[in-house]
Structure 1
Amino acid sequence: MASFAWRGRNGRGEEVSGITEADADHAVADQLIAGGVSPVEIRPLRSIEQVPAGSEATTRPPWAALLARPVSGEEVLILTRQLHTLQKSGVPLLRSLAGLQASHDKPAMCDLLGDVRASLDQGRELSGALARHPRVFDGFYVAMVRVGEMTGRMPEVLRRLAEHTEFVLDTRARIRQALRYPAMVLGAIAVAMVVINLFVLPVFAQVFAGFKSELPLMTRLLLGSSAFMVRWWPLLVAALVAAVLMLRAWLATPDGRYRWDRLQLRLPLAGPIVRRATLARFARSYALAASSGVPIAQAMTVIAQTVDNRYIGARVEQMRDSIERGESISRCASAAGIFTPMVLQMIAVGEETGEMDTLMVEVADMYEREVDYAVKNLSSAIEPLLLLVIGSLVTVLALGVFLPLWNLGQAAMSH
């Protein structure tokens, strides 16, 4: 199937143009006449900016897909901004995707855009085409695009998505930067503990065996753990791999994901950050849906998918059910138990004044500022705990290894 550029005049005599994919030019003419357009010119499109969907994949060797890098979050951000600009300028979606596909030199992105174009040609909506790639576009992204399709405000939705994607990428970068040093230290400690248990403590065990005296409790514990690891280390490695696989399988189930998302909200340091970031998504999505005229019950259904947290999503669905029964939004939000008192007050004020969308934007901005502040202070909050862990391990090793030597020296001096 080839692409054809055409010009024609509609029933009012106005000149119109576009691009249509068909098997031949007469098929394009039949489509135009059936749509009430009199064709003036039909020509095959051979320019580089109209690459047929999936053609890039057919010209590459089969092993290229295995070596290709996946689409990154930064590339999704750039794609969203480009789509926003093109949609704002009135460029048709298929033409926009074709031009973006031709301008990309990364195979993974070309394949992605080609598949999206093919899905649109088959009659799918843009949200359905993006949902075919869950590793690239998460539930929040797809749900927001669906909101844009429902409301006809796709350029604004894409702009909001670009801002949100940039905020998420910046937050992740800050968290990685804050956790890089603690992760390196904890990794070095783990490697050191394995080396000590497998190679160092067995040597000390042979030395201590010649003391012919009872060893301290701490030393016996260390030598026992070392002997257990030396004897059963293949089983420990297999158990660790099995535990990781079982955890991933459990998280793939609805109940497992629900419990894991609820556990994330209760973690000491990361829990408040996850909660605020999730509620910022809720407020931003609600504001966009309310300003676009989407019914509240229908908006709540979409928002429950956009928050990307099964636990909070279930609470949003409970709010939707209560709203359908005729209860007020403020009462439903209070019963959900996920909002702070100040946010509940803002929801109540917005419901009374009819400015819910404006106040929810302020709630989203407030939560995002709190997330930014918490991420900046995350490193300073982790360092005391890290020092406590390192100090405890050093103390245990020092007492377990050097206490018998100290006792031996004391006994030699007494003799």
Structure 2
Amino acid sequence: MPNFAYSGFNPQGAVKGVITAKDKAAALADLKEKNITAKSLAVASPLSQNIKLRDPLPSGTDMSLLCSQLALMDRAGVNLLETMTSLLQTTANQKLKDALHDIRDGVSRGQEFPIALGRHPLIFDKSFVALVKAGIRTNTLSTTLDRVSTMYERNVKVTQEVRGALVQPAITIAIAIAVVILLSIMVIPQMQGMLEGLNVALPPLTKIILGFSAVVRGPIGLLLLAVIVAAVIFVQRYIKTDQGKTNFDKFVLRIPKIGDLVLLGSLSRVNRTLATLLSNGIAKNEAIGIAAEASGNRVLEDVLLLGRKSVERGDHLYTVLEAHPKLFPATITGMVRTGESKGELSEMLDRVSDFYERQVETDARNLTKYIEPFMIVFLGVIVGGLVLAVMLPLSEVIKNLST
């Protein structure tokens, strides 16, 4: 569907943005439903569409802050419309602000708050909507939002630990590859004439470096670049498919050290989400299904969905987890078994999540220490190889002159 750029005003003042609709009439109807009077409406230019698409989704920190503000205002007795208006003035993320605009307009028309939230699943996922609904039902919305804020905050911490451990080596490798390509294109060609004019037999290493430079600068280099770009695009699209996402997640979990860290991060999120849902009165089978989607890993999600079916049949969750010991260590299955038998599953899962958060932090530091020596050796081989490729012919010339 096309995007339409609009400008106009609502009861709060002037507004502008981009809206997606099947045609201009549908776009006007959507704007009217949001209580926006359009002054201008036209098909968005490619530039404005790209700007809209590049607006990032709110981070976990944004969501944690939003929950804290909602809880504070609910506890102070501020009505929901005033709360939403206040949040619009303090929210920096554009996509979150657009969603809050729409939610406020929906609530002002009599729409229930959880239903209005559910209109924006990319921002307010099933766990958020279910927890808000439970908080309203039990008249504990502020307490529930405080728990959700804590959940987002801790999930952000775990995600940052995992990413921090993986990003550093990736950046190092990318810089090394970029340096090699730049040297091959800009520096080595200038040295090639000098090296070939020394009137000495070039050593194999120097020939390899010069040959690599010639390949990179020639049509074969362009062909390789095109193949790499095509492969990256194919992999990105493949990962977006259900089967591709599953296979990619399986592959990541098989990578030594890295797979263990990713699994720990996913388990921490699952346990924290499930504990928060259960402690707010969400039915176990529904909570397991929501936590499965929050895992961020299709392999874990599939197993947890099997666990939900088992619970719906009247069985225990731990029986399914025990059948997959590579994904769910004995620590988790034992705590889940104890929690289910004593009716304290949410408390047990909170403890497990705390344990895995500490484990993620420790393993992330250890992974960095584990990878650093390999990065140093990798860079040393590249730099040392280039230096030797130049110095070996020069040393041969000096040797000939001395004799």
TM-score range, shorter chain: 0.7 to 0.9
**Long gaps (5+) in structure 1:** 4-51
Aligned amino acid, residue 256 of structure 2: P
The range that moved more, 98-107 or 141-150, is 98-107
Per-residue CA deviations over 1:326-373 (Å, capped at 9, x if unaligned) read 443222111133111222222222233222221111111111121233
Where does residue 270 of structure 1 map in the other structure? 258
Aligned amino acid, residue 276 of structure 2: L
1:334 is aligned to 2:317: no
Q: CA deviation at 1:162?
A: 1.1
Aligned amino acid, residue 263 of structure 1: F
Q: 1:119 to 1:307 in 2, by over 3 A?
A: farther
Where does residue 396 of structure 1 map in the other structure? 385
Q: CA deviation at 1:185?
A: 4.5
Contact kept, 8 Å, 1:87 with 1:154, in 2: the verdict is: yes
**TM-score relative to the length of structure 2:** 0.75
Contact kept, 8 Å, 1:286 with 1:357, in 2: the verdict is: yes
Partners of 2:294 and 2:175 lie apart in 1 by: 38
Secondary structure of the corresponding residue to residue 243 of structure 1:
helix
Contact kept, 8 Å, 1:57 with 1:111, in 2: the verdict is: no
Aligned amino acid, residue 391 of structure 1: G
Secondary structure of the corresponding residue to residue 294 of structure 1:
coil
* Correspondences of 1:147-226 after superposition (within 5 Å): 147-150=131-134, 152=137, 154-173=141-160, 185-210=172-197, 215-226=202-213
Where does residue 62 of structure 2 map in the other structure? 75
Q: CA deviation at 1:227?
A: 0.7
Contact kept, 8 Å, 1:80 with 1:158, in 2: the verdict is: yes
Partners of 1:255 and 1:316 lie apart in 2 by: 17
Aligned amino acid, residue 279 of structure 1: L
* Correspondences of 1:79-90 after superposition (within 5 Å): 79-89=66-76
Q: Percent of counterpart pairs with the same letter?
A: 27
Partners of 1:111 and 1:391 lie apart in 2 by: 50
**TM-score relative to the length of structure 1:** 0.73
Per-residue CA deviations over 1:55-86 (Å, capped at 9, x if unaligned) read 59979998989489646424332212111223
Q: CA RMSD in A?
A: 3.8
Question: Equivalent of 2:272, from 258, 281, 284?
Answer: 284
Q: 1:88 to 1:251 in 2, by over 3 A?
A: farther
Number of residues paired by the alignment?
Answer: 363
Contact kept, 8 Å, 2:285 with 2:311, in 1: the verdict is: yes
Aligned amino acid, residue 149 of structure 1: K
1:99 is aligned to 2:83: no
Where does residue 296 of structure 1 map in the other structure? 284
Contact kept, 8 Å, 1:277 with 1:371, in 2: the verdict is: yes
Q: Which has the larger radius of gyration?
A: 1
**Long gaps (5+) in structure 2:** 1-8, 12-32
Q: 1:264 to 1:134 in 2, by over 3 A?
A: farther
Q: CA deviation at 1:184?
A: 5.7
* Correspondences of 1:307-346 after superposition (within 5 Å): 307-337=295-325, 338-346=327-335
Aligned amino acid, residue 399 of structure 1: L
Secondary structure of the corresponding residue to residue 265 of structure 1:
helix
Contact kept, 8 Å, 2:274 with 2:291, in 1: the verdict is: yes
Q: CA deviation at 1:258?
A: 1.7
1:241 is aligned to 2:241: no
Where does residue 370 of structure 1 map in the other structure? 359
Partners of 2:226 and 2:360 lie apart in 1 by: 38
Per-residue CA deviations over 1:250-286 (Å, capped at 9, x if unaligned) read 2221112222223333333433332122112221232
Q: CA deviation at 1:109?
A: 4.5
Where does residue 21 of structure 2 map in the other structure? none
1:144 is aligned to 2:128: yes
Partners of 1:172 and 1:297 lie apart in 2 by: 26
Aligned amino acid, residue 374 of structure 1: D
